[in-house]
């Protein structure tokens, strides 16, 4: 953040470079994950985003805790686990043991969000809630004290390579206001490219998840820098 004077008043402005980039390994070479993680670390990634899909909450199926565990030692970067599953309650334990630093659950996947967040926090790791594009931000209003992260889905979850949904920007702005007195990171996931990255940061995003934009060429460092 920097401060400058304009017409006699102080103006606070965020610098884009403050945003954190969390590459999603959904777009990585699954046959070579250890090396992909090492390359991302060298390229300046801030955390590693792990998309867990169960073929029920979303159509797609990815990987589970054993795979996360097998790549944990490839980097010291935080593991940001995004659970797109119907049974998050039953999976927390395994992902904590696999080395998750953040576990983010979908508000739409549970009727007991408060209890689920309490369970994650009991392990001493960070807890997040993800909101699908059609989910109202008020869903998180009464659990702010239990949150370390809010994940705004800017596409419908399930697949990489989709187009950013513009109404996400309004939601980011509203959530930024809602969390202003809390120590909560605001993360955006889906359709992030250099243009949408800039728009999300202007609206208040702290972390950008990017799959396609990071892995589109093997120049990961250049691709990450283009989003900052
Ligand atoms: C979508 C996943 C995202 C996805 C982002 O369901 O949660 O993390 O990998 O991919 P891109 O950056 O390609 O939209
Ligand atoms: Zn994700």
Model pLDDT, residue 117: 98
Note the pLDDT tens digit of each residue in 77-93: 999 999 999 999 999 99
Cα 36 to Cα 39: distance, rounded to the nearest angstrom:
5
Q: Say whether domain 18-227 belongs to CATH 3.20.20.70.
A: yes
Domain boundaries, the chain: 18-227
Tokens of 111: 């009727």
CB of 90 within 8 A of CB of 64? no
> In the structure, which protein residues have their CB atom closer than 6 angstroms to any atom of ligand 1?
24, 26-27, 49, 51, 82, 155, 157-158, 160-162, 189-192, 209-213
For residues 10, 14, 17, 21, the Cα torsion angle rounded to the nearest 10 degrees is 160
pLDDT at 114 over 70: yes
Judged by average pLDDT, the poorest of 17-21, 77-81, 121-125, 206-210 is 17-21
What is the pTM assigned to this prediction? 0.93
Computed over every residue of the chain, the mean pLDDT equals 94
Model pLDDT, residue 104: 99
Q: Which atom of ligand 1 is nearest to the CA of 157?
A: 6
Buried b (16+ CB within 10 A) or exposed e, 183-205: ebbbbbbbbbbeebbebbbebbb
148 assigned to active site = no
Going by CA atoms, what residue is nearest to atom 4 of ligand 1?
Answer: 160
145 assigned to active site = no
**Given pLDDT bands bounded at 50, 70 and 90, which one contains residue 17?**
low
Note the pLDDT tens digit of each residue in 166-205: 999 999 999 999 999 999 999 999 999 999 999 999 999 9
Q: Could you tell me which of 132, 80, 133 has the C-alpha nearest to residue 107?
A: 132
């Amino acid at each position: 953040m920097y401060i400058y004077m304009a017409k006699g008043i102080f103006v606070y402005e965020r610098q884009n470079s403050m945003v954190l980039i969390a590459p999603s390994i959904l777009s990585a070479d699954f046959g070579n994950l250890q090396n992909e993680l090492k390359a991302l670390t060298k390229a300046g990634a801030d955390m590693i985003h792990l998309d867990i899909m169960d073929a029920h909450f979303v159509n797609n199926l990815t990987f589970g805790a054993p795979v996360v565990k097998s790549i944990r030692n490839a980097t010291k970067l935080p593991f940001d686990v995004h659970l797109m599953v119907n049974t998050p309650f039953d999976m927390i334990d395994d992902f904590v043991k696999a080395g998750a630093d953040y576990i983010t659950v979908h508000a739409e996947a549970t009727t007991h969000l408060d209890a689920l967040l309490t369970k994650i926090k009991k392990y001493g790791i960070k807890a997040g809630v993800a909101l699908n594009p059609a989910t109202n931000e008020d869903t998180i209003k009464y659990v702010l004290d239990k949150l370390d992260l809010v994940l705004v889905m800017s596409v419908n979850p399930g697949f990489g390579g989709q187009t950013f949904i513009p109404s996400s920007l309004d939601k980011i702005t509203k959530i930024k206001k809602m969390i202003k007195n809390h120590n909560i990171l605001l993360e955006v996931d889906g359709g992030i490219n250099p243009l949408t990255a800039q728009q999300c940061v202007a609206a208040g995003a702290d972390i950008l998840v990017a799959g396609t934009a990071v892995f589109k060429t093997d120049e990961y460092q250049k691709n990450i820098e283009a989003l900052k």
